[in-house]
Amino acid sequence: MSKSQKARAQKCVSCGINIAGTSAASFKCPDCGAQIVRCAKCRKQSNLYECPDCGFRGP
């Protein structure tokens, strides 16, 4: 994982909060396979997210 990917992995892609030490979910983008991390609050509220690499959007 590159430094830019590690920096992105520390923040929720939906709201941007620091997710270190939280119950965040991490999964691969359905389109390009990039790592996506979301905080518990955004997951619970089904907030939209956008892949930082390819622009794929999902709930």
Q: Report d(CA 49, CA 2) in Å as an integer.
A: 21
In Å, the largest CA–CA distance within the chain is 30
Which pTM was predicted?
A: 0.73
- Per-residue pLDDT tens over the stretch 5-38: 555 558 999 999 999 878 899 999 999 999 999 9
- Asked if 35 contacts 26 with a C-beta cutoff of 8 angstroms, the reply is yes
> What confidence score (pLDDT) does residue 6 get?
57
Continuous segment of H or E residues that includes residue 7: helix 3-9
- 24 is written with which tokens? 């965040």
More confident residue, 26 or 3: 26
Inter-residue contact 57 to 50 (CB < 8 Å): yes
- Locate 57 and state its tokens: 């959007």
pLDDT score recorded for residue 9: 54
